[in-house]
Chain A
Amino acid sequence: MKALCWNGVRDLRTETVEDPKILNPKDAVVRVTMSSVCGSDLHLINGFIPSMQAGDILGHEFIGEVVEVGHDVRDLAVGDRVVVISVIGCGECGYCQRQLWSLCDNSNPNALMQEKIFQYPTAGIFGYSHLFGGYAGSHAEYIRVPFADYGAFKIPEEIRDEQAVFVSDGVPTGYMAAEMAGVKPGDIVAVWGAGGVGQMAIQSAYLMGAERVIAIDRLDYRLAAAATHGKAEVINFESADVLETLKEATGGRGPDCCIDAVGMEANSTGLEHYYDRTKQFLKMETDRPAVLRQAIAACRKGGTVSVVGVYAGVADKIPMGLFLNKNLTMRGGQMHGQRYARLLLELIRDGRLTPEFLLTHRVSLENGAAAYRMFNERNDGCLRAVFTP
């Protein structure tokens, strides 16, 4: 089959590889019908997540059709149209049973490797480095899905492919961001990053009763999408002072909830940006936390900072004095998609969440490298490019 493989930093190639097969009794094999690029792939492509190996198949946000099931698969059948959650959960460990699927104890074959860095290992993720299990990703014609009964959800007939595909990762990440931020009726919510996840966080915050949502980005086309599809107010951080504007917009209090949907490759302005770029280049910090710093500074006293943008290791100059003295709450995490999938499919069916506008480009696997280049450089109004193998 054809698959899009990582061959080195900013070096992707479409290769012919073996077809996947069932390796464990709870596996299924899915024929991929749609597989989306995700902002978090850019950290792998740009070389900021360790433990990638040439030949690794990328991709973790996908839907498809079940073509084969292992003998311990109970709920799925050949022919089912399914959306598969990006993080893999065994369904049986203490974490999965408490609905904390991305913390699964049993789905990461390289748990010992990860334990050395994180102290306790987390779940495996499709196509997301060997630290996260080394699973082959979904930018391919077929993919093997471990613990398929727990990770693959049947898509109701009335939901279209371009709505369902983002339930794999983008929608639950945005939803969980708003949930972790503790959004309540009447709250003002600020969302940094108007990519796929940020857009979904904006819609989710309104679902949870937010009075106003403010989106912060530097790309006008993404801010325009946030205004159109999310009813968000917008700030372009390249042309406005974010802290001052947020203060002005909130009667001098600051937002109640601040969501970081950017993560480790944040862009910022002025000296701060060059400081972080230099330190990151010299491996003195792995993550550029410009958004996290700003979110902590912007948040109202007693407010909540919710982090879903991906960080990998260590970041410097986090304003802990502000965090403590302003009595902030900070939460973060990879999404527990299995916990939200059914709810999100219902919300989409009812038209209360509308993720389909994220799909701006349909591409073939052969044009994978070019699609990622466009996505990385934010050309051509790209929100998400989706492969249709």
Chain B
Amino acid sequence: MSSKHASNVSPSERIISFTIGGAMLYRSFKTLHRRPVLALAAGYLVYRSIAGYCPISRWMGKKDTHNPAINIKSYLTINRPRDEVYRYWRRLRNLPTFMKHLERVEERTDTHSHWAAKLPGMTGAIEWDAEIVEDQPGYFIGWRALPGSIIENAGKVEFSDAPDGASTEIQAVFSYHPPAGSVGTGIARLLNPLLKTMIEGEIWNFKRIMEAGEIPTTAGQPNGRRNGKTKVI
């Protein structure tokens, strides 16, 4: 079977499956006639560890051990000249003014920076180092986290003149690559929608900082008693 299907069990998972499955199989050997289901489960774990393929995982949608990257794309027009928009972004320490999930970005050299962030669903900050991998002044900035980061991530922003000659079109892509394996996939599934909404909102806030100089909010305004009643449709 393993020859017909790509492996969808990662090396670490195979080791865990073999260890647990083997131990269960050994312990249930003497009581096989009384607890056949347990023995069967143990056998299945050993099978998936040796074959490197798991039909149940496949049935649940996992085709290989590679976790696809989460790509979040935004397109916006900003009513400011292209150079000004580029310059604000290129000064990476500005990013936390509109990306609220970033605690800080320290620019250590012209291309190397240190980032600290809080992600939805995680307690405490995570930190990583990043480098600018491509820089076309006024037009393009691309960066990526250095190898060894907890969450592999990269991003790029393209700046171009809008047809009105006064404003700037930006195309931003943020990519997150969750750690390999089922745990990584689980985190990614959980994070994906939260992350997408968060990043999309933060790119909108970039426009707001550039144009209006502040981010609109209602946090802290008065309201009457919230009894939970809402009108959805």
Per-position 1/0 for A338-373, Cβ under 8 A of B: 000000000000000000000000000000000000
A270 to B109, CA, bound (A): 76
Chain A interface main SS type? loop
Among B164, B218, B225, B233, the residue within 8 A (CB) of A55 is B225
Counted as pairs of residues, one from A and one from B, with CB atoms less than 8 Å apart, the total is: 127
Q: Tell me if B220 and A109 are in contact (CB < 8 A).
A: no
Shortest Cβ distance from residue A303 to the other chain B in the assembled complex, whole angstroms: 32
**Which residue on B lies nearest to A286, using beta carbons?**
B233
Q: Tell me if A13 and B233 are in contact (CB < 8 A).
A: no
Per-position 1/0 for B201-233, Cβ under 8 A of A: 100100110011111111111111111111111
Contacts A51-B230, A112-B201 given; does A15 touch B225 at CB 8 Å: yes
Give the total of A residues in contact with B, Cβ under 8 Å: 54
Q: Tell me if A92 and B213 are in contact (CB < 8 A).
A: yes
Residue B197 CB within 8 A of the other chain: yes
Contacts A50-B232, A107-B216, A109-B217 given; does A17 touch B204 at CB 8 Å: no
Among B197, B207, B222, B227, the residue within 8 A (CB) of A1 is B222
Shortest Cβ distance from residue B182 to the other chain A in the assembled complex, whole angstroms: 31
A50 to B233, CA, bound (A): 5
A369 to B216, CA, bound (A): 30
Residue B77 CB within 8 A of the other chain: yes
Residue A25 CB within 8 A of the other chain: yes
Contacts of B220 in A (CB 8 A): 21, 23
Q: Tell me if B233 and A90 are in contact (CB < 8 A).
A: no
Shortest Cβ distance from residue B119 to the other chain A in the assembled complex, whole angstroms: 18
A54 to B231, CA, bound (A): 9
Per-position 1/0 for A6-36, Cβ under 8 A of B: 1111000101011111011110000000000
Residue A72 CB within 8 A of the other chain: yes
Give the total of B residues in contact with A, Cβ under 8 Å: 33
Q: Tell me if B197 and A112 are in contact (CB < 8 A).
A: yes
Contacts A3-B222, A53-B226, A94-B164 given; does A25 touch B231 at CB 8 Å: no
Shortest Cβ distance from residue A283 to the other chain B in the assembled complex, whole angstroms: 6
Shortest Cβ distance from residue A184 to the other chain B in the assembled complex, whole angstroms: 30
Residue A146 CB within 8 A of the other chain: yes
Residue A108 CB within 8 A of the other chain: yes
Q: Tell me if B232 and A7 are in contact (CB < 8 A).
A: no
Q: Tell me if B229 and A7 are in contact (CB < 8 A).
A: yes
Residue B71 CB within 8 A of the other chain: no
Q: Tell me if A54 and B230 are in contact (CB < 8 A).
A: yes
Contacts A50-B231, A51-B232, A112-B197 given; does A23 touch B224 at CB 8 Å: no
Residue B13 CB within 8 A of the other chain: no
Q: Tell me if B211 and A54 are in contact (CB < 8 A).
A: no
Contacts A5-B225, A15-B224, A92-B79 given; does A72 touch B213 at CB 8 Å: yes
Contacts of A51 in B (CB 8 A): 230-232
Residue B158 CB within 8 A of the other chain: no
Q: Tell me if B204 and A92 are in contact (CB < 8 A).
A: no
Contacts A47-B231, A51-B230 given; does A25 touch B224 at CB 8 Å: no
Can you give 14 A-B contacts (C-beta < 8 A)?
A8-B231, A17-B222, A23-B217, A50-B231, A54-B229, A55-B223, A57-B224, A90-B211, A90-B212, A93-B207, A94-B77, A106-B216, A133-B216, A283-B233
Sample of 14 further A-B pairs with CB below 8 A, known A5-B225, A124-B216? A1-B222, A3-B224, A5-B224, A7-B229, A18-B222, A49-B231, A54-B229, A56-B223, A90-B211, A90-B212, A106-B216, A135-B221, A144-B221, A283-B233
Residues of A within 8 A of B (CB): 1, 3, 5-9, 13, 15, 17-21, 23-26, 47, 49-57, 72, 88, 90-94, 97, 105-109, 111-112, 124, 133-136, 140, 144, 146-147, 283, 286
